[in-house]
Amino acid sequence: MKRYGAPERRKSFRVWLGSSSELATLSFADKQDIASPINVTTLSPEGISFETNTVLPLSSEVTVSFRIPEDEHVFSTTVKIVRFDPSKGAMPYEFAAVFTRISKEDKNTIKQFIERFNIMHLLQLTIQKDASDLHLVVDQPPLWRLNGELQNLDSHMEKLSADDIKIFIYSILSHDQIRKFEQDKEFDFAIPFDDQYRFRVNMHQQRGATEVAVRLIARKMLDFERLNLPEIVKKFAGLRDGLVLVVGPANSGKTTTIAGIVDLINQNRKAIIITLERPIEYIHVNMKSIIKQREIGVDSSSFSVALKASLRQDPNVLVVGELDDVETTKTAIVAAQAGYLVVASFHAPNSIYALDRLVSMFPGELRKQILAQVASCLEGVIAQLLLPRKDGRGRILATEVLITTEAVKKVVRDDQLIQLDNIIQTGGSKGMQTMRASITKLVESGYIDQNIADFSMEVLMKGRGY
pLDDT at 32: 57
pTM for this prediction: 0.73
Same domain, 185 and 208: yes
In a domain, 360, yes or no: yes
Q: Does 5 reside within a domain?
A: no
In a domain, 178, yes or no: yes
CATH code of the domain containing 26? 2.40.10.220
**End position of a domain, from candidates 106, 128, 154:** 106
Amino acid in position 455: F
Asked if residue 129 and residue 232 are part of one domain, the reply reads no
**Within this chain, do residues 390 and 316 fall inside the same structural domain, yes or no?**
yes
Do residues 73 and 125 share a domain?
no
Q: Which residues contact 236 (CB under 8 A, 6 or more apart)?
A: 244, 261, 343, 379, 380, 382
Q: Where a domain ends, among 198, 218, 238?
A: 218
What CATH number did the domain enclosing 298 receive?
3.40.50.300
214 plus 240 within the same structural domain = no
- State how far the Cα of 341 lies from the Cα of 351, in Å rounded to an integer: 19
Whether residues 390 and 268 share a domain: the answer is yes
Same domain, 177 and 260: no
With CA atoms as reference, report the closest residue to 23 among 32, 34, 36, 10: 36
pLDDT of residue 4: 38
Q: Are residues 334 and 198 in the same domain?
A: no
The verdict on residue 9 lying in a domain is no
Query: Which of 43, 74, 106 lies at the terminal end of a domain, its last residue?
Result: 106
- The series of mean pLDDT values per 10 residues for the chain, 466 residues long, is 40 75 64 73 92 87 87 89 76 89 94 93 93 94 88 89 94 90 91 85 94 84 77 94 95 91 95 93 91 91 94 96 93 96 94 95 96 97 93 89 97 96 95 94 94 84 51
Note the pLDDT of residue 288.
96
Same domain for 139 and 274: no
204 within a domain of the structure (yes/no) = yes
**Same domain, residue pair 292 and 417:** yes
Specify if 197 maps to a domain.
yes
**Conformation bin of residue 382: beta by default, left when phi > 0, alpha when psi is -120 to 50:** beta
Count the domains in the chain: 3
In a domain, residue 3? The reply is no
CB atoms within 10 A of CB 208: 8
| Judgement on whether residues 410 and 269 belong to the same structural domain of the protein | yes
The domain in which residue 148 lies consists of 117-218
Query: Are 421 and 322 found together in one domain?
Result: yes
Domain assignment of residue 111, yes or no: no
